[in-house]
Amino acid sequence: MICLTYEELREALDLREKCGLTPFLKLFKVLHLNPEAPRNHNALVDVADGEPVAFAFKQSHWHEVDCDEMVRDCVNNAAIRLLDIEFILAPRMPAKGFSKLMKLRDTVERETNGLFKDPSIEVQALMRRTSSAIAAFTKANPDLLAHARADAHSAPSLVRPMKTRDLPEWEPEVGHRWLALARMQQTGEYPIPPSV
């Protein structure tokens, strides 16, 4: 994406005055549903049998996953990836338009990070559009879907990492890092970690 010119980005992401959340869907399509980047094809939604079935490529295998959760992750990832190209967009967009786009970006990321139960109506609509785009891509790639189904059937269970607060790897003094963190919390003094 960062190799594209601003004009190419504006066309690819459909950046207009009243584009709403369309750039997030377009960015996801460019990154993950692009025929020229098969290495990024990591999300499928099969709606052939009525109830949607989602597959995501994680931990070196395809896994059957919750459809809503996968789509939420896809939209969240698109919002995060928008930051990768902000340095191209910022100097070429009107300040007001860029500010509005970044505020929307913050809203989309916040509402799709899994902490909110009910995203806004606009973000829900974006998620439905993203799901439809993935379903259309899946329908156009039956061989990839067949491979994903077979791989998901034989893949080891998906290991879900525990959500824990990350503690600093370094120790400001002699002693275990948990003890070091406890001391920091008690004293309120957080030393600067050594440079790597």
Rounded mean pLDDT of 65-70?
94
Q: What is the predicted pLDDT for the residue at 46?
A: 96
pTM of the model: 0.78
53-58 sheet: strands from edge to edge: 43-46, 53-58, 61-65
Q: What is the predicted pLDDT for the residue at 125?
A: 96
Rounded mean pLDDT of 52-76?
95
Confidence of residue 52 (pLDDT cuts 50, 70, 90): very high
Say whether pLDDT at 61 is over 50.
yes
Using CA atoms, how far apart are residues 69 and 61, in angstroms rounded to an integer? 18
Using CA atoms, how far apart are residues 22 and 125, in angstroms rounded to an integer? 10
Using CA atoms, how far apart are residues 48 and 108, in angstroms rounded to an integer? 29
Q: Residue 6 burial by CB count (10 A; 0-12/13-18/19+): exposed, middle or buried?
A: middle
Helix (H) or strand (E) holding 61: strand 61-65
Look over the chain and give the mean of its residue pLDDT values, rounded to a whole number.
Answer: 85
Higher pLDDT, 4 or 65: 65
Express each pLDDT in 122-172 by its tens digit.
Answer: 999 999 999 999 999 999 999 999 999 999 999 999 887 765 555 555 555
Say whether pLDDT at 3 is over 90.
no
Q: What is the predicted pLDDT for the residue at 185?
A: 66
Confidence of residue 191 (pLDDT cuts 50, 70, 90): low
Domains of the chain, residue spans: 6-154, 168-196
Residue for token pair 């070196």: 60
DSSP track, 129-167: HHHHHHHHHHHH-HHHHHHHHHHHHHSPPP-PPP--PPP
Rounded mean pLDDT of 51-73?
94
DSSP 193: P
Confidence of residue 20 (pLDDT cuts 50, 70, 90): confident
Q: What is the predicted pLDDT for the residue at 196?
A: 43
Express each pLDDT in 98-121 by its tens digit.
Answer: 999 999 999 999 999 887 678 999
Say whether pLDDT at 19 is over 90.
no
